């Protein structure tokens, strides 16, 4: 097989990259070890930054998002028996978030790729990226029917997540890794109940953090801070609802709507960055290169920022032969990644209980919560980072369709 860009991973990063490249006239093949049903049902983040919404709309895959997504113009910080709204429309005019599940984004992207005759190969196995330190990279893999295949390409994009094969394929000593584990996890709950509030509620309590979110007018999403090794079996439905009530029903007049729980899982909290996000002609994007705690809602949005930039860099390379954007890909991405790392860490430390015996730490936490909800300057910083910083400018005059290169020759 032969293509221009071989993409490992059919999550949001890999699928969006493939579609954006298609719009620029660049061919790609996406390889995914899971089956299509699993990929489309995998529940992950649901908060889309303004920039992510804009990219999906500009790529022509935002029709259903505009119809079914839930635009939000603020969030609530709840602590000390009161709720405090961070008003995006006042603090960052013209910018907001949209609640639309990651699995829905994936469904839209798969449909768009298949409608354009894009190659998305599910249920492949034994994926091995190779030759990326030369000008002849390739990916070997086994098809679902058992046939072993070699995919020759100009570039490999590793979009296969934290546990994928792309990052481990990079030789030892190339990457520097920065990471932090947190002393708690999130118990995530998907419930078939209408949301109890119109916007997300971030609740800080002495018993731990809680988040009220939503996926649709009939499906709600909740999170509870729990110990890092907590078994899901310890949380029957009745205990979950009781704890959510305790942590969320702290404001007069607020009542939590309860009902059937359709999914629950425990997710450890981690911060992770591997840099540079490139080795030769292998480029890492999304969770393959960086992980953030979900408190700041940045994971999916960082992946979109990565592949947006990688698309422009590849388009410039194919169209003009210039490697400037490709050479700057890692540094440019990492500026945004580290800003998101700091914001996610800050939100996490602001809202979670780290040590129940640390009275000094709790007073510091309360002091900053009071400050961020009483100072427009502090609230504007939170709002600006939450809705997403603007993308860095890239050249707007790159030709849409790259010229054909003679056989055996690439820039």
Q: Which of 269, 298, 316 delimits the end of a domain?
A: 269
For position 395, what pLDDT does the model report? 55
The whole-number average pLDDT for the span 396-400 is 49
Task: Check whether residue 283 and residue 309 sit in a common domain.
Answer: yes
**Residue 369 parent element (H or E):** helix 359-372
- For residue 135, give the 3-state DSSP assignment: coil
% of the chain exceeding 70 in pLDDT = 95
Task: Identify whether residues 172 and 192 lie together within a single domain.
Answer: no
- Say whether both 115 and 261 belong to one domain: no
What does the pLDDT read at residue 253? 93
- Total residue length of the chain: 411
Total domain count, the chain: 2
pLDDT band at 411; cut points 50, 70, 90: very low
In a domain, 377, yes or no: no
Dump pLDDT digits (tens) for 220-242: 999 999 999 999 999 999 999 99
Q: Are residues 236 and 279 in the same domain?
A: no
Annotated active-site residue in 100, 223, 329, 386: 386
Rounded to whole angstroms, what are the CA distances from 287 to 98, 277, 314, 336?
Answer: 21, 11, 20, 14
- For the cut 60, the answer to whether the pLDDT of residue 134 exceeds it is yes
195, 298, 329, 352: the catalytic one is 298
pLDDT above 80 (res 267): yes
Domain annotation covers residue 277 = yes
Residue 12 lies in a domain: yes
The arithmetic mean of pLDDT across residues 273-288, rounded, is 98
DSSP state of 74: E
322: closest CA among 228, 399, 381, 259? 399
Above 70 in pLDDT, residue 204?
A: yes
Same domain, 346 and 197: no
239 and 265 part of one domain: yes
**Position 411 in a domain:** no
Q: Where does a domain end: 269, 293, 312? A: 269
Count of Cβ atoms closer than 10 Å to residue 327 Cβ:
13
Residue 338: predicted pLDDT: 97
Tell whether 258 and 351 lie within a shared domain: no
User: pLDDT class for 8, splitting at 50, 70, 90?
Assistant: very high
| pLDDT score of 399 | 47
* Domain identity same for 43 and 123: yes
> If pLDDT is split at 50, 70 and 90, which confidence band does 393 have?
low
Cβ neighbors of 345 (< 8 A, separation 6 or more) are 180, 271, 293
Q: Where residue 356 falls among pLDDT bands split at 50, 70, 90?
A: confident
Asked if residue 410 belongs to a domain, the reply is: no
In a domain, 398, yes or no: no
Looking at 73, 129, 137, 202, which residue is catalytic?
A: 202
Q: Are residues 156 and 303 in the same domain?
A: yes
Last residue of a domain, one of 355, 376, 397: 355
In this structure, are residues 3 and 28 in contact, taking their beta carbons and an 8 Å threshold? yes
Instruction: Indicate whether 371 pLDDT > 60.
Output: yes
Instruction: Answer yes or no: do 189 and 246 share one domain.
Output: yes
| pLDDT over threshold 70, residue 404 | no
Say whether 107 is catalytic: no
In a domain, 84, yes or no: no
Can you give the residue range of the structural domain that contains 259? 183-269
Catalytic-residue membership of 294: yes
Domain CATH number, residue 193: 3.30.9.10
Which entry of 294, 329, 352, 402 is annotated as an active-site residue?
A: 294
Q: Taking a C-beta distance cutoff of 8 angstroms, is the pair 165, 264 a contact?
A: no
Does one domain contain both 334 and 285?
yes
Q: What is the CATH number of the domain that holds 17?
A: 3.50.50.60
Give a yes or no: residue 247 inside a domain.
yes
- Known catalytic residue at 409: no
Q: What pTM was computed for the model? A: 0.92
Q: Which of 12, 19, 22, 72 is the catalytic position?
A: 72
């Amino acid at each position: 097989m032969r293509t221009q860009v071989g993409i490992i991973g059919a999550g949001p990063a890999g699928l969006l990259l493939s579609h954006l490249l298609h719009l620029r006239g660049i061919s790609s093949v996406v390889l995914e070890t899971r089956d299509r049903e699993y990929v489309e049902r995998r529940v992950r983040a649901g908060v889309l930054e303004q920039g992510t919404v804009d990219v999906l709309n500009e790529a022509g895959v935002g029709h259903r998002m505009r119809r079914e997504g839930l635009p939000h113009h603020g969030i609530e910080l709840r602590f000390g028996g009161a709720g405090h709204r961070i008003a995006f429309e006042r603090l960052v005019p013209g910018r907001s978030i949209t609640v639309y599940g990651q699995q829905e984004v994936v469904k839209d992207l798969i449909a768009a790729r298949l409608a354009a005759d894009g190659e998305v190969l599910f249920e492949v196995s034994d994926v091995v990226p190779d030759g990326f330190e030369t000008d002849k990279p390739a990916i070997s893999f086994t098809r679902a029917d058992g046939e072993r295949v070699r995919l020759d390409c100009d570039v490999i994009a590793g979009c296969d997540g934290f546990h994928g094969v792309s990052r481990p394929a990079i030789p030892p000593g190339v990457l520097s890794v920065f990471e932090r584990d947190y002393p708690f996890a999130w118990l995530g709950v998907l419930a078939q109940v209408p949301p109890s509030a119109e916007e997300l509620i971030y609740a800080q309590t002495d018993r731990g953090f809680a988040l009220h979110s939503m996926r649709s007018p009939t499906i709600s999403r909740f999170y509870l801070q729990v110990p890092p090794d907590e078994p899901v079996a310890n949380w029957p439905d009745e205990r979950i609802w009781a704890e959510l009530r305790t942590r969320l029903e702290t404001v007069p007049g607020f009542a939590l709507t309860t009902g059937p729980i359709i999914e629950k899982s425990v997710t450890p909290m981690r911060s992770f960055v591997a840099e540079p996000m490139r080795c030769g002609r292998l480029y890492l994007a999304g969770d393959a290169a960086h992980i953030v705690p979900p408190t700041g809602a940045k994971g999916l949005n960082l992946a979109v920022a990565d592949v947006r930039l990688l698309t422009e860099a590849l388009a410039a390379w194919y169209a003009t032969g210039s490697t400037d954007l490709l050479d700057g890909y890692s540094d440019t991405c990492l500026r945004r990644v580290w800003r998101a790392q700091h914001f996610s860490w800050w939100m996490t430390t602001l809202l979670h209980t780290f040590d129940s015996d640390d009275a000094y730490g709790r007073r510091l936490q309360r002091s900053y919560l009071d400050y961020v909800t009483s100072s427009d300057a502090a609230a504007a910083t939170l709002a600006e980072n939450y809705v997403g910083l603007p993308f860095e400018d890239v050249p707007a005059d790159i030709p849409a369709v790259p010229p054909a290169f003679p056989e055996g020759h690439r820039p």
